[in-house]
A and B are shown apart, each in its own frame.
Chain A
């Protein structure tokens, strides 16, 4: 797995590279600005890009913009976005084109190395990794939604784990239940949200539903 890191803070950039290299991963380039990052993507043909949202010059959403540009240049590039805080608009902007090969995590999750590596591999393998905090906010906003409001606490839990990108078995392990129980929960969720397996028309629903959509089709 070839990795490019785009992070403007030098200490953090080197720390990340050090961590990943120590795990035997191939960090092919690091970049401190969006321009450097795009040049590195062109030059090194990476499989995964780890991108900070806030980068120079304005330190707002340059990272998101650069990540989308990189995906435009290199379709199939997996992107894991790191953010200092949860910003709904960043998440939806990023997920607007589908959630495949995308991750959006709070920066501090990197310190939980095992989980971070799992998320990285999942994204590189075509999956999704959404920060629990992001999912929580999306769900909180969706609470007024008739469908989400009808979910039981357990179903909500399952939904947020699904949105984080966990598979059924992983969810079952996390919740200490059987695979069958998770299956039942998921069927109930789909029914309550009125999601037919091929339903992808509803643009109003948030990234979680988008994710559910792709899960349902799989």
Chain B
């Protein structure tokens, strides 16, 4: 029973949605008729292209609605610019056939579907208010039935139960029948060329792969130019120490000292690289949770505002995390700030990150702080990085990343 109710509620939702597009289709139909009539006398001809595009946008709305609900409906290529070509386009012709069907049949089914629960409500509550109804008007929906006793009013309520039963039993079928012309006529023309859709998917996929490759390049670079150089320095210093050992033990000892230092630096850098690849906490708790943890562990009191209705690509989230982590580390180490703010939100397809502190400012990208690393990493994602840090502060950093999702 509960399943039935859920199906009926879903069906009602679809019916109302379909009613919405059918009203649009109706408007489109009137517009089309006006254009056709005015074209007969010549003045409407320049409007044909625009009206076909209007029909396309209405049809796209229906495609979107049907795709959210059932199997996705792939849209056709754009309407050809020349009206004569457009009118020959099979997809356009099928849309023109769909408009009157959906404007009439779809509208009627939608109204009927919507009236079912309303009628049920009205009839079921009829015994409560039948005595208020103006005499001689008859029961709701049944004008010839003059109700003048409670028993008869309960009879009307029984009819309400009937409406409810119809909704429960036939709601799904109604919604399907309303969607049927759209599914039949708005899908790709049988045997149509799907190359456009394929091209679109290829492009987005390539962009994702590009971001991935940029990430791998960044890792390769930090391993080769950072960690490996440290290790080479270790071997060079060890080699020098070995040569110096017999000649000049004091120098040898100093070289060994420096070699050890370089080895420790190599380890530190390796740790940074590994942490930068994909902080494990991102996987466990998502970006918002990971930032929470970051802020909680920060030595400065930090105000965090995160607004993330959607998840971004993993590499983008990792970069966002890295940016905030580096920026906070900088603030703690160099700024002398007493408080920091972090905000992360999504605007369209961009992830916006802002980190600020009330410290002494004067942050310099070329001074070997993590700032250059932040810029490199952001730019690898085609993002934007802006730093304002006048002497005396405050410092604010704004980063914009494409979400990539």
Contact = CB atoms under 8 A, between A and B. Distances in A.
Interface string A82-105: 001100000000000000000000
Contact of B233 (A11, A84, A112): A11
A113 B224 contact: no
A112 B236 CA distance: 8
Interface string B218-244: 000100110011111111111110111
B243 A23 contact: yes
B229 A11 contact: yes
A181 interface: no
Interface string A2-43: 000000110110011011001100000000000000000000
Contacts of A112: 239
B8 to A, nearest CB: 63
A210 interface: no
Contacts of A113: 239-240, 242-243
Interface in B229-273: 229-240, 242-244, 251, 255, 258, 262, 265
A54 B236 contact: no
A54 B232 CA distance: 14
A9 B233 contact: yes
A153 interface: no
A24 to B, nearest CB: 11
Nearest to A106: B232
Contact of B224 (A12, A85, A108, A116): A85
Majority secondary structure of chain A interface residues (helix, strand, loop or mixed): helix
Interface string B6-23: 000000000000000000
Nearest to A82: B232
The size bracket of the interface on A is: 20 to 34
Interface string A183-217: 00000000000000000000000000000000000
Given A22-B251, A59-B221, A107 B240 contact: no
Contacts of B251: 22
A12 B259 CA distance: 11
B232 A12 contact: yes
A19 B224 contact: no
A9 B235 contact: no
Contacts of B236: 12, 15-16, 19, 110-111
Contacts of B229: 9, 11-12, 84, 107
Contacts of B240: 15, 18-19, 22, 113
* 3 nearest A-B pairs in the assembled complex, by CB-CB distance: A111-B235, A111-B239, A113-B239
Interface of A: 8-9, 11-12, 15-16, 18-19, 22-23, 54, 59, 84-85, 107-108, 110-113, 116
Interface of B: 221, 224-225, 228-240, 242-244, 251, 255, 258, 262, 265
10 contacts: A11-B262, A12-B229, A12-B236, A19-B237, A54-B224, A84-B224, A84-B229, A108-B231, A110-B236, A111-B239
Given A12-B232, A19-B237, 9 more contacts: A11-B233, A15-B240, A19-B239, A22-B243, A84-B224, A108-B232, A110-B239, A111-B232, A112-B239
